[in-house]
Chains A and B, each alone.
Chain A
Amino acid sequence: MSEKKAPFFVGYMGVPKALKSFLLKVSLLLFAGFTAGAVLAGASQDDPGQAGFRFDYGRQTLTGVLEANPYPLLYVTQGNDRVKAGHTMMLSGQGKTPIMANLAALEGNEVEISGVILKRGELDMLQVAGGKKGIKDLSKEGTIPASEPLGKWKLQGEICDGKCLAGAMNPGRGLAHKACANLCLLADIPPVFVSSQPVEGKEFLLVADPDGGPFPREMYNYVGQFLELETEIERRGDLLVLRIDPDKIKAIE
């Protein structure tokens, strides 16, 4: 048997001559495999697209009317160079800190809000600064714009958390990001539906429950999946809001 003559490796002795070139080849192959693997895996990552915190804008201060249902929204009445009056700005707390408790009492009031903007294309959100600097109650009742019904639509797309999607995290959508998105949604961060193609000119729609309340916890199962849904859509300011119907939603095959 040729095996009897095969070189025999003992760890604490020298490597048998007959094995040296073999082991060298294996080592080089291992090294080459790891090198090629790194280039292949590292350089082929998907493009998360242009999005992020716009620290370059500096801190933004906006005045407007606050609405807290289904999610914190500011109907901007006095804008600035970056944000025009008439825009509906979605709001979030710092990181994944809920802010609804601070805002609910101010519903319908005129407020001055300051913070940093996140932006992905036409989608934007304001991360409200912490403490008293963030929200200033102007003690004046404002007018929440009337919502304009746009009828019932059939859409395909994905439910994300609006903040990561707007650039808090890059990438900020998909199933690998689902747990993060859920944790954001639990922190009152507005969920956003990304439509396959624009609806009435908008690619991103705020998601509410059938009664216009917050996105229900039991529907978190759908976050990150590609969905088909039939839904009522309404316009609030320049923001589209869809009312998700649990019976009219399914994952795409």
Chain B
Amino acid sequence: MSVKYISVQWNSNKWKYNAIMLASVFTYLWIFIFVTPDIMSNEGRINGQVHNARAFGSCAFLMLSVILCIGPLARLDKRFLPLLYNRRHFGVMTMFVGITHAGYILNWYFAFSPSNKYEALLFSNTSYGQLSGFPFEVFGILALFCLTILAATSHDFWLKFLTPRIWKRIHYLIYAAYISVVAHVSLGILQDQQNHAFTVLFIVSALVVAVLHLLAAIHERKHGDPFPNNSDNWVEVCDVSELREGFAKITQLTQKERVAVFMHEGKLSAISNACAHQNGPLGEGKIIRCLVTCPWHGFQYDVTNGSSPAPFTEKVPTYNLKLEGSSVLVDRNANAPGTFVEPLVLQTTGAAT
């Protein structure tokens, strides 16, 4: 949680996360670059620059595949949520690995020429009218642009400045980036490789990413938050009996707006489901030490007024609640973020307002 953007707020879990990620990446690069040349029984030796470009390129592809698996895995099984916690560092690292790949290519294939190498990259192959021999480099450029924009806007400042909604829309670029990378590989090295080990690795990784997204999308459709189809001011959320101490029930009010109704100390309060930080699903979190805690990055809010405890300044909208019989109803008109709402006391007899 940021009070001031003074420094990255590290904690032991972030260190561990980064250590595991970096160990995996460095091991990959080390084995690929320094160990495999001696394992190969090739007659000729692949140029160092091409070898390194392949090491970094394939590594970036694997990293991106892993990153893209985290989201759907966490949707399908909450135990994967910790992998989401520091995913942005993973993403930034991927961009650097991708740029190194591009650097080796640019300084090898497009060097040694009187032309500017960046221009040469664009004009050397212009066979845009065919698939076989298509200038697949443009897909690499596109992917790298997307990854750079994502990495460059990964600081929390951008979330607050752009609003989580615009930030999320920008970060949909990850899908464009991955599709571009798949096209980059499919029309590039896949066309040439005679040994199919990498082809298999590539296809399996990409299909795992595709299938997980499909499963998560179907799961979300089946088990997603209910969307009551009425236009009344008061929207039914659930039956009182469905609520559990410390947890919430979520209901969609519009396509974009969701409310989370929490039970805390036997009383009900409703706040926006969208965390002020990254719009994480607060209703899928739980109340820890009297504070609603976001399952994504642990931002916390007082359930009665939607405000983060001092010194933090984040606020989310609150909602008014009422009971009709044993049904919990929420007023679809949100209160401004930080507005206190008296928690709804449950009476043993049932009906109350």
Nearest neighbor of B198 in chain A, beta-carbon distance: A41
Stretch from A23-31, A56-64, A129-137, A205-213 contacting the other chain: A23-31
* Min C-beta distance of A42 to chain B, whole Å: 3
Interface assignment of B27: CB less than 8 Å from any CB of chain A? yes
List 13 extra interface pairs beyond A11-B297, A43-B39, CB under 8 A.
Answer: A12-B13, A15-B13, A31-B20, A41-B197, A43-B36, A46-B193, A96-B112, A170-B44, A175-B133, A175-B187, A179-B110, A180-B108, A183-B124
Size of the B side of the interface (Cβ < 8 Å), in residues, is: 85
Q: Pick the most buried of B37, B82, B247: most chain A CB atoms within 10 A of its CB.
A: B82
Most central of B33, B50, B297 by chain A CB within 10 Å: B50
With contact pairs A43-B36, A43-B40, A175-B188 given, residues A221 and B129 touching in the complex (Cβ less than 8 Å): yes
Residues 283-296 of chain B, each 1 if its beta carbon lies under 8 Å from chain A, else 0: 00110100001010
Q: Which of B54-62, B170-178, B230-238, B330-338 contacts A (4 or more CB under 8 A)?
A: B54-62
Chain A residues in 8 Å Cβ range of B111: 95
Contact A170 B46 (CB under 8 A): yes
**Docked complex: A1-56 residues within 8 A CB-CB of B:** 1, 3-4, 6-13, 15, 19, 22-23, 26-27, 30-31, 33-35, 37-52
- Report the bound CA distance from A95 to B107 in whole Å: 12
Is B353 part of the binding interface, using a Cβ–Cβ cutoff of 8 Å?
A: no
Interfacial chain A residues near B58, Cβ < 8 Å: 37, 41
* CB atoms of B11 and A11 under 8 A apart: yes
| Most interface-central of A45, A46, A175, A182 (chain B CB within 10 A) | A45
A176 touches B (CB below 8 Å)? yes
Q: B133 to A223, Cβ gap below 8 A?
A: yes
Residue in chain B with minimal CB distance to A98: B114
4 closest A-B pairs by CB: A95-B112, A42-B36, A44-B197, A96-B113
- Judged by a CB distance under 8 angstroms, whether A100 is at the interface is no
B265: Cβ under 8 A from any A Cβ: no
A178 to chain B, nearest CB (A): 5
B118: Cβ under 8 A from any A Cβ: no
Which chain B residues lie closer than 8 Å to A31 at the CB level? 20, 23-24, 27
* Given A41-B201, A46-B192, A180-B110, A6:B11 Cβ within 8 A: no
What chain B residues lie within 8 Å of A96 (beta carbons)?
Answer: 112-115
Segment from B73-81, B150-158, B160-168, B209-217 that makes contact with A: B73-81
Name the one of B20, B31, B39, B50 contacting A169, with C-beta atoms under 8 angstroms: B50
Write the nearest CB–CB distance from B275 to chain A, whole angstroms: 13
Kindly identify which residue among A4, A94, A169 contacts B108, using a CB–CB cutoff of 8 Å: A169
Q: How many A-B residue pairs have CB under 8 A?
A: 213
Q: How far is the CA of A223 from the CA of B132 in the complex (A)?
A: 10
Closest to B197 in A: A44
The answer to whether A183 and B109 have CB atoms under 8 Å apart is yes
- Please report the C-alpha to C-alpha distance between residue A182 and residue B127 in the assembled complex, in whole angstroms: 11
- The bracket for how many chain A residues form the interface is 35 or more
- Contact mask B29-54 → A, CB, 8 Å, 1/0? 11111011101101111110011001
Which residues of the other chain, B, contact A37 by a CB distance below 8 angstroms? 28, 58, 62, 201
In the assembled complex, which residues on chain A have CB atoms less than 8 Å from the CB atom of B191? Answer: 174-176
- A9 CA / B74 CA spacing, docked (Å): 12
Q: Does B83 reach chain A (CB closer than 8 Å)? A: yes
Whether B241 sits at the interface, judged by CB under 8 Å, is no
Point out the residues of chain B lying under 8 angstroms from A175, CB to CB.
Answer: 132-133, 136, 187-188, 191-192
Given contact pairs A11-B85, A41-B54, A41-B58, A49 touches B44 in the complex (Cβ within 8 A):
yes
Contact between B20 and A38, CB atoms less than 8 A apart: no
User: For residue B29, which residues in chain A have a CB less than 8 angstroms away from its CB?
Assistant: 38
Decide yes or no whether A77 CB sits under 8 A from chain B.
Answer: no
The residues of B with any CB-CB pair to A shorter than 8 Å are 9, 11, 13-14, 20-21, 23-25, 27-33, 35-37, 39-40, 42-47, 50-51, 54-55, 58-59, 62, 66, 78-83, 85-86, 108-115, 120-121, 124-127, 129-130, 132-133, 135-137, 187-189, 191-198, 201, 244, 247, 285-286, 288, 293, 295, 297-298
Q: How far does the Cβ of A24 sit from chain B's closest Cβ, in whole Å? A: 10
Q: Does chain B have a CB within 8 A of A144?
A: no
Q: Shortest Cβ distance from A126 into chain B, in angstroms?
A: 16
Q: How far is the CA of A9 from the CA of B324 in the complex (A)?
A: 35
* A138 CB within 8 Å of chain B: no
Does the CB pair B109–A179 fall under 8 Å?
yes
Q: Are B125 and A182 in contact (CB under 8 A)?
A: yes
Between-chain CB contacts (< 8 Å), 11 pairs: A9-B81, A12-B298, A27-B20, A38-B31, A41-B54, A44-B195, A170-B47, A175-B192, A176-B136, A176-B188, A179-B135
* Bound Cα distance A111, B133 (Å): 39
Known: A41-B201, A42-B55, A174-B192. A49 touches B112 (CB 8 A): no
Q: Is A235 an interface residue (CB 8 A)?
A: no
CA A97 – CA B40 in complex, angstroms? 34
B44 touches A176 (CB 8 A): no
CA distance A168 to B9 in the complex (A): 49
Interface residue? A177 (CB, 8 A): yes
Candidates B9, B33, B50, B298; contact of A10 at CB < 8 Å: B298
Q: How far is the CA of A112 from the CA of B272 in the complex (A)?
A: 83
Residues in A with CB closer than 8 Å to B189 are 176
A182 to B135, CA, bound (A): 11
Chain B residues with Cβ below 8 Å from A43 are: 36, 39-40, 197
- In contact, B198 and A39 (Cβ under 8 angstroms): no
Q: Contacts A13-B298, A169-B47, A183-B115: A46 and B194 contacting too (C-beta < 8 A)?
A: yes
Chain A residues within 8 Å of B112, by CB: 94-97
